[in-house]
Structure 1
Amino acid sequence: MKMRILPITFLMCMSMAIGAAQHHGIRQYNIVWDSQSKNSSESMPVNGHSLGANVWVENGEIYFYAAQSGAFDENNESLKMGRFRVKLKPNPFNKEDKFQQELKLKEGYINITSKHSEIGETEVKIWVEAERPVIHFEAESDTKLIMKVSYETWRAEDVLLDAEKVPGVRGRRASLFDYDNYLVDLIKYGDHFSLEDDKFYFFHNNDDHFSAFDFAIEQQGLQDIKGEMYNPLKNLISGGMLLGENLQFVGNSNGFYSGTPYKSWNFENASSSKNTSFQVFAIVDHSKNVQEWKNEIHKLADIDRTEEEIFKQNLEWWKSFWQRSFIILNEQSTNKETDKAWEAGRNYNLFRYQLGGNTYGLMPTKFNGGNLTFDPVLVDKNFNYDPDYRRWGGGSFTAQNQRLVYWPMLKSGDFEAILPQFEFYRRALSNAVNRTEHYWGHTGSSFTEQMQQSGLPIASHYGFVHDAFWITQRPLNYEEGKQSNRYVQTLFQTQLEFAFMILEYYKYSGNDISEYLPFIYNAVIFYDEHYQFRHRQETGKALDKNGKLVLYPTTPGENSPNSTNASDAIAGLTAVIQNSLELPQKVLPDSIRNYFEDLKNRIPDLEKFVYTDDSGKEHTLLRESKEDIAWHSGFMPSLYALFPYRLINSETEDFEYAQNVWKYKMNEENKNNYASWRPGVFMGANLLLTNYTKEQLLKKLGNSQRKYPTFWGPGHDWVPDHNWGGSGMIGLQDMLLQEKGEKIYLLPTWPKEWDVHFRLHAYKNTIIELNYFNGQIQQLTVTPESRKKDIILEYK
């Protein structure tokens, strides 16, 4: 039986010491390895600011890949900075008596230690500054050591990428997604390297090279307005500077790692020492020239603080991160190694740490690996490509996947970390507006599902007229502006979803969103203008006989092209307008408010139909669209009114319609598939399916098949799969906290046998901390206290 505890019971809740329990809880999730790794697939992440590093010890040598958000080459491939290899002499990690590599999660760094019968104890600390793009490597030993540092690159020279005739997403071109299946030769340009005094620079300079953006402009017939367009690739310089105390260049060498040839720049200490260190400073910037880019790096290096002071500040940043939010499951479990709920809680926090590593990035965290990918041949033996490779591209952004990376940041209170995704749309807005005006002569932004960071559709989904395979083939005389990929050609809904996310961000944080209002406005007006335009083409009339928009052609999810009134688009329009109109007068200008008030009357209702079961009983269901061509797709677009748009919940009259979709229409494959972006775990949480959601969560946030627990994938995407982790985070959060109007429902879909201690965020800058133990609420703290009246406790 469901129990509802009235707000007055807060007065009876026990008070507990928050800090000690919370800190102990995070520390129990440290990842500790007592053996070295076989290769980069057994790496451990350390990250901060906009940098990610995969760290592993192999054959007595310490390696790490480094990558920074926003580092794209001319072909729009996401570039790693390079690979770093460190060898200490004499080697404490060669035939040592004891080895340990530990991710100290609360403190945000990796510690590698060795006890050696001849060398004694050695400790290596690798960390990334949370507030600046700098990687630190520090070694301390009982014995004086020489450190050899090698910078290794597979981009020492230009490489010809010949016209590989492999369809789909298995060929080399899948990492350069604009050119996927485009059967012409391409050049992957090499990097630049220089030694100046004690500094070693390595960088990629796009300069004025013909780029994927230029290619898309020509392909999509936008040359006339190119001068008005934002070009995110032009003059982009990305890379870093290696700087170490007492390091001297000792020559170049060549080799292979995981089948990929590399060139190495090698450095050694001039003399041995018990303490040695180096730093990697990183910058991604649209610099006027190389010297300007170097000047920015020098500013990073020229700082009047000691290493100890910087590290102390870093510890404070991560302390604040973990105090802001956490979820701890079954903390008192007597056998954590076999407790799958404890494991899911640990992996939630491990993955949140991964997301925290791109709080200040130029670009959003990519759903297909973020900054933490490794050698592709170790993901799939058929992908024998260099370490920059990832499936589904680097500088292309798949919006339905990206959303799942960013939704959980609201309830975790990571409001700074969500901004790179909002900035992505703000910067590209002018391009999406210009292309709309150019093709169709009306206003609004047409952000597509698969797009460049420029806001243009990726070239391969716009389609090639000649020399292409499969979905990339574009018929002659095809309508300008329309993509040839049938799965996404009329899918614009995700611009509404990110507009709604910004509005939710405001409701959670209260932070200023004025700079994002043009994006919200243009995402909405596109649907009004474009579908009046389309309906005039079809019928000569702008609206239907009831004065409503006819959203044709639309595509629900990526399913059923050329549908009418896709349910996800209708839910998105309704939610964005409804939430916009709730903004205070000082936030939403009267001009937009008046327009939205008028437009809301033109939005069609969600499509419904009556299903008759085997017994002859009738049930009302939500439809994907008016035609409802498909039985049901894995994206579950007919449930978008439930999530993400929160128009339907257990307190609304139409909740039964969503439940009926699940009962009578959803097939078992779509219910039970949990890989990658699959939404069952959070849809189940919002449908209040406790047992189903519990089982889905244990699968979704269970250990990966790799040494590091949250390097999930590849699934539909890549490794590590960030939308796999993001969807799991959403599911767990919604099991614990759901907001329905002004009310905050706690434990709405929670298994009574699981203990949980969490701190999550809610609307109006509200913070909820709850400790549920042995089936009882032990502590509940609500900040501010004025929100206590809005809490409803639900558990079975």
Structure 2
Amino acid sequence: MNIWLIFLAGLLSHLPAAAQPDEPATLDRYNVVWTSPSRDASGSMPIGNGETGLNVWVEEGGDLVFYISRTDAWSETDRLLKLARVRISLSPNPFAKGLPFRQELVLREGRVEITAGEPASQAALRLYVNAAGPDVHIDGEFKTPTTVTSTLECWRTERKTFENDDELRSSWTMHSAPAAVRKDLVWESPDTIISDDNAVVWHHRNEHSVVPFTLKHQGLETIASTFPDPLIRRTFGARMSGPGFTLARQPGVLRTTSPISSIALRITTHSAQTPTASAWRDDLRRLDAAAPADARKQTAAWWREFWDRSYILVRGDPAPAAPASDPPPRNTHPLRIGADSNSQNVFRGYMPHAAIFDHALTAEEILRRADDPAAPAPWWQWEPADGRRAVPPRPSHKLTLKPIGEAREGTPMPDGPALVFEGGHFEAPAAEIPEFPGGFTLDAIIAPSELSPARIFDKMTAGGDDGFIFDTHPGDALRLIVGNQTLSATGVLKRGQWHRVAATFDPASGRLALYLDRKLIKESSATFHDPAPPSRVTQAYILQRYMAACGGRSVSGDAAFPIKFNGSIFTVEPAFTESQTHNPDWRKWGGDFWWQNTRLPYYPMLAAGDFDLMDPLFRFYESAAPGARARARLYHGAEGLYFPETMTTFGTYSNGDYGWNRENAKPSDIHCPWWQWAWQQSLELAQLMLDHAAYTGDRPFLTTRAIPMANDALRYYDSRFKRDEKGKLLISPTQAVETYWNGVVNDAPSIGGLHAVCDALLSLPSAVTTPDDRAFWQRMKDATPALPTWTVSGKPAAAPAESFTNKRSNCETAELYPLFPFRQYGPGKPGLDLAINAYRARVDKSHVGWTQDDMFAAMLGLTDEAKSNLLAKVGNSHRNFRFPAMWGPNFDWLPDQDHGSNILSTLQLMLLQCDGEEIRLLPAWPREWGVSFKLHAPNQTTVQVEYRDGRIQRLVVTPEYRRANVVMPPAQ
């Protein structure tokens, strides 16, 4: 990218950008409004200031409740914990059943407003987090004097150990730790609650840390000083107080001394590493005293500025069908019995009965025995090949069921044959499996020989939401997944015992149900019927951008941690997502940062103009850079740096990924094959930093942060890998992300990243570079091989690597990483046909989570595919949750920030693509959709467009001279 114009633009006066006339009013139409209370945390609304967040809900007939979270509340075991739950009780109670109720997320001012009760005795409450500080506010008025009780609810009341590895995975840094390590090191202390001058103060303090053990385990003791320890002596918690409140007798409870007509409750949060808990409390007291009186005004002003930066308002996108009318999603996978789509999660044991019904059986029908004349006929039922068993009623269809691996028909018991699973599974071709538009029932008799996560029936991409699963996850449970709906009942199966199990899905009602031994044990709850927005696509864009701002900004200057891809700071009890019974501190994939996941929220921040939200990502990896450089020298004798794909808060590998058994292993040996040889993370980070400089024109950032990071990334490749006889890099050992592990040389992500970073650096003006740097960049550019290609179905196409063993271990499309994120293919560039052919031939197709099909399609100008992927993504909010942007869990956790962020990127790329000085408008936009948008482009540029009736009706480019760089869409 030519960045010279960045600095030229700073010398030119900008023409004022005309505001979209109806934009403020339109944003207000996307406020989330509920006219009934919620049952529990699955019906919570998120609010936050980027560093401190709340999940807010009102229980019907009960109380106002919220979780408090921070982005830096890290425990001794490297888990990101909640601060606590707070319950506010009112007497008389305006939330009593049957009374008027309204809860509204006021986006423009970043707060939740609640009104409840009859008009004459109405309560009006406002909740917000100060945009400029760590304080949470609950303000409001009561027409009837009201007694208020505010109760702190802490669940960390005793020392916590981790006997269950599923629970320990919420650390990930210590997952799968041996028993001795768990006993000595993997534990968390209880919280402390203190009464302090009519205030409730509580904190969690880490007096030990897993960091020293980890550095020793990974052979890093000699360079330990280069790694930070963000855990030791970290103390986090809050102070709750308010005028008219006094301490009650019970610990952690505040109560008004008499009924009040207004409330101004404040909760000041704090997280810091301090010498003592007393020092932390002193800091907290100072922060609380400094809380501004006009916090609501400050907060509203920040949010108004945020929404004025950019916007996208879509018109004409179809409203998704009501959730109850969705049939099971379709895919091209065979039906598997006993394994998932990767032939993993295998069932071991016996299955003498397996049947499918093409509708949801009722509880009464489930109770009927097969020999009951009134029993419904199955759509399909397994029958032994020798025909020894023919139980009426006969099935209406046959399937071509074939064994894969160690699976067979046998007679393991005296009373009849069974399917025997000893590590293999059975498959039926996808062509023989219908859509089941009327729903289905999956029915089996099983005797599991071990209690591990095991598929009974499977027709879904592993980790996706494009089909259905009936399994035993996490081992002793029954779980049904249909699309993005999940229902689970834990602790119900016994090893070696016979169980009759069934799962039903009824699309007419949206109901999922699980049966054990013919008895109903779990069913899904009813869905909410909240008002639909004018545009689902617009709503998804607005709410996801809002979520990023709520959980991804450093307010204090100290919270330099990126957005957690697996839920941000808005996770709740896992029981609502996948029915795990852990407390609200648990999240799947734990506290570590997967680069492939962590990066995705940050790409759309460029076009949105949310540059301040990007800084925590950059600072986090910059803080890990000294250790990364030292490790590169120690492990590989290389200069520069690389970052582990999965990185702890302190810059190391997770110990479980690094490998617990180090017998005969070198310190540099990484045992986890999914990312043991992944190197391109630093190139992507460098490109993001260079893009940030290109968009903002921030010269100090460019010269002191972006260029040094890029140089370190390039030096690692330069010093680590050999050259061939032509002087080209031979990048090996390496891998093509998580999909291709073996025999990989010159992986496409690395090659694309090297070209992208070198091109961006070489386009910089000489005034901001040195001759030595430029010579180095040119040498690296010359040493980088061409993008790899191969032939697929008789057509030339982009390849995952120059050479590789063609065995897939995950579902990434590595061959298109040079397209996204590295922009090496695209309109007007050579090889566009190679990228399109690769897209058409890709093995895995997905519209969920971190997968990139939607961005690929938009960048290739494939409008119909970009549109269909976008609409599918927008419909992915979990049905158990009320807030419309609770995506997932998909591959990650809920709310899935990768999924939501890819909605932002896809929509932006359909509207605006920038490369060098070029600004390409509407490269993949459906003609039948209208849109108004304001987005950012490089060189401190904004572009505003009004598009309707298939034409651009209005275009404003600021500064005006950049209009010459605009490429209009066809027929404009």
Q: Same fold (TM over 0.5)?
A: yes
Task: Give the counterpart letter for 2:821 in structure 1.
Answer: P
TM-score (norm 1): 0.88
Q: Is 1:413 aligned to 2:615, yes or no?
A: no
Deviations 1:738-770 (A, max 9, x none): 013311011110001111111110000100111
Select which of 839, 844, 852 maps to 1:662: 839
User: What residue is the counterpart of 1:724 in the other structure?
Assistant: 899
Question: C-alpha displacement at 1:204, in angstroms?
Answer: 1.7
The equivalences for 1:551-700 within 5 A come to: 551-562=731-742, 563-613=744-794, 618-627=795-804, 629-630=806-807, 634-663=811-840, 665-667=841-843, 670-671=844-845, 673-700=846-873
Is the CA contact (8 Å cut-off) linking 1:682 and 1:727 kept in structure 2? yes
Structure-2 change in CA distance of 1:75 and 1:631 (3 Å): closer
Question: C-alpha displacement at 1:412, in angstroms?
Answer: 0.3
Q: Distance in 2 between matches of 1:304 and 1:95?
A: 36
User: What residue is the counterpart of 2:231 in the other structure?
Assistant: 233
Q: Distance in 2 between matches of 1:77 and 1:334?
A: 39
User: What residue is the counterpart of 2:127 in the other structure?
Assistant: 126
Task: Give the counterpart letter for 1:190 in structure 2.
Answer: P
Structure-2 change in CA distance of 1:298 and 1:586 (3 Å): farther
Select which of 686, 690, 695 maps to 1:499: 686
Is the CA contact (8 Å cut-off) linking 1:230 and 1:430 kept in structure 2? no
Q: Distance in 1 between matches of 2:810 and 2:221?
A: 38
Is the CA contact (8 Å cut-off) linking 2:789 and 2:796 kept in structure 1? no
Question: C-alpha displacement at 1:722, in angstroms?
Answer: 0.5
Structure-2 change in CA distance of 1:204 and 1:747 (3 Å): same
Select which of 86, 94, 108 maps to 2:88: 86
Q: Distance in 1 between matches of 2:94 and 2:672?
A: 55
User: What residue is the counterpart of 2:457 in the other structure?
Assistant: none
Select which of 526, 549, 558 maps to 2:729: 549
Question: C-alpha displacement at 1:686, in angstroms?
Answer: 0.5
Is the CA contact (8 Å cut-off) linking 2:70 and 2:83 kept in structure 1? yes
User: What residue is the counterpart of 1:220 in the other structure?
Assistant: 218
Q: Is 1:509 aligned to 2:696, yes or no?
A: yes
Q: Is 1:290 aligned to 2:277, yes or no?
A: yes
Question: C-alpha displacement at 1:123, in angstroms?
Answer: 0.6
User: What residue is the counterpart of 1:391 in the other structure?
Assistant: 588
Task: Give the counterpart letter for 2:210 in structure 1.
Answer: A
CA RMSD in angstroms comes to 2.2
Question: C-alpha displacement at 1:523, in angstroms?
Answer: 1.8
Q: Distance in 2 between matches of 1:94 and 1:340?
A: 28
Q: Is 1:345 aligned to 2:532, yes or no?
A: no
User: What residue is the counterpart of 1:12 in the other structure?
Assistant: none
Select which of 703, 718, 734 maps to 1:528: 718
Q: Distance in 2 between matches of 1:444 and 1:313?
A: 43
Q: Distance in 1 between matches of 2:769 and 2:65?
A: 51
Structure-2 change in CA distance of 1:641 and 1:248 (3 Å): same
* SS of equivalent residue, structure 2 residue 613: coil
Structure-2 change in CA distance of 1:734 and 1:62 (3 Å): same
User: What residue is the counterpart of 2:668 in the other structure?
Assistant: 481
Task: Give the counterpart letter for 2:785 in structure 1.
Answer: P
User: Identity percentage over the alignment?
Assistant: 30
Task: Give the counterpart letter for 2:118 in structure 1.
Answer: H
Question: C-alpha displacement at 1:362, in angstroms?
Answer: 2.6
Deviations 1:9-44 (A, max 9, x none): xxxxxx996254110111111111111111101111
Any stretches of 5+ residues in structure 2 without a counterpart?
A: 1-15, 323-530
User: What residue is the counterpart of 2:563 in the other structure?
Assistant: 365
Deviations 1:260-314 (A, max 9, x none): xxxx6211011211101211111222223333323332333223842xx221121
Q: Distance in 1 between matches of 2:278 and 2:64?
A: 32
Question: C-alpha displacement at 1:240, in angstroms?
Answer: 1.5
The equivalences for 1:426-465 within 5 A come to: 426-465=622-661
Question: C-alpha displacement at 1:580, in angstroms?
Answer: 1.7
Question: C-alpha displacement at 1:408, in angstroms?
Answer: 0.6
Q: Distance in 2 between matches of 1:243 and 1:520?
A: 48
Q: Distance in 2 between matches of 1:279 and 1:589?
A: 53
Deviations 1:444-469 (A, max 9, x none): 2121101112111111110111xxxx
Question: C-alpha displacement at 1:582, in angstroms?
Answer: 2.0
Select which of 323, 330, 336 maps to 2:315: 330
Select which of 777, 791, 795 maps to 2:966: 791
Any stretches of 5+ residues in structure 1 without a counterpart?
A: 1-14, 253-263, 466-473, 533-542
User: What residue is the counterpart of 1:271 in the other structure?
Assistant: 258
* SS of equivalent residue, structure 1 residue 364: coil
Structure-2 change in CA distance of 1:453 and 1:332 (3 Å): closer
Task: Give the counterpart letter for 2:150 in structure 1.
Answer: V
User: What residue is the counterpart of 2:886 in the other structure?
Assistant: 711
* SS of equivalent residue, structure 1 residue 202: strand
Deviations 1:300-359 (A, max 9, x none): 3223842xx221121111111111011111189999999999101111101100101122
Task: Give the counterpart letter for 2:155 in structure 1.
Answer: W
Structure-2 change in CA distance of 1:589 and 1:245 (3 Å): farther
User: What residue is the counterpart of 2:503 in the other structure?
Assistant: none
User: What residue is the counterpart of 1:766 in the other structure?
Assistant: 941
Q: Distance in 1 between matches of 2:760 and 2:935?
A: 22
Question: C-alpha displacement at 1:633, in angstroms?
Answer: 5.5
* SS of equivalent residue, structure 1 residue 432: helix
Deviations 1:78-135 (A, max 9, x none): 0111001001111111135310111111111001111327x61111100011121211
Aligned length: 731
Q: Distance in 2 between matches of 1:515 and 1:623?
A: 31
Deviations 1:485-510 (A, max 9, x none): 01100012122101110001111111
Q: Distance in 2 between matches of 1:335 and 1:626?
A: 43
Structure-2 change in CA distance of 1:51 and 1:98 (3 Å): same
* SS of equivalent residue, structure 1 residue 86: strand
Is the CA contact (8 Å cut-off) linking 1:49 and 1:132 kept in structure 2? no
Is the CA contact (8 Å cut-off) linking 2:798 and 2:815 kept in structure 1? no
Deviations 1:185-238 (A, max 9, x none): 33221122211212322112223x1x2222211211112222343222222222
Is the CA contact (8 Å cut-off) linking 1:327 and 1:348 kept in structure 2? yes
Structure-2 change in CA distance of 1:631 and 1:451 (3 Å): closer
Q: Is 1:154 aligned to 2:155, yes or no?
A: yes
* SS of equivalent residue, structure 1 residue 387: coil
User: What residue is the counterpart of 1:112 in the other structure?
Assistant: 114
Task: Give the counterpart letter for 2:842 in structure 1.
Answer: M
User: What residue is the counterpart of 1:23 in the other structure?
Assistant: 24
Q: Distance in 1 between matches of 2:733 and 2:112?
A: 52
* SS of equivalent residue, structure 1 residue 80: strand
User: What residue is the counterpart of 2:572 in the other structure?
Assistant: 374
Deviations 1:673-717 (A, max 9, x none): 211111111111011110111010011122512211110111111
* SS of equivalent residue, structure 1 residue 436: helix
Question: C-alpha displacement at 1:483, in angstroms?
Answer: 1.2
Q: Distance in 1 between matches of 2:86 and 2:757?
A: 46
Is the CA contact (8 Å cut-off) linking 2:789 and 2:798 kept in structure 1? yes
Question: C-alpha displacement at 1:392, in angstroms?
Answer: 0.6
Question: C-alpha displacement at 1:612, in angstroms?
Answer: 4.8
Moved more, 496-505 or 327-336: 327-336
Structure-2 change in CA distance of 1:19 and 1:606 (3 Å): closer
User: What residue is the counterpart of 2:72 in the other structure?
Assistant: 70
Runs of 4+ more than 4 Å apart = 331-341
Q: Distance in 1 between matches of 2:774 and 2:17?
A: 46
Q: Distance in 2 between matches of 1:333 and 1:298?
A: 52
Name the structure where helix makes up a greater proportion of residues.
1
* SS of equivalent residue, structure 1 residue 79: strand
Moved more, 505-514 or 578-587: 578-587
Is the CA contact (8 Å cut-off) linking 2:738 and 2:809 kept in structure 1? no
User: What residue is the counterpart of 1:536 in the other structure?
Assistant: none
Q: Distance in 1 between matches of 2:584 and 2:248?
A: 25
User: What residue is the counterpart of 1:173 in the other structure?
Assistant: 168
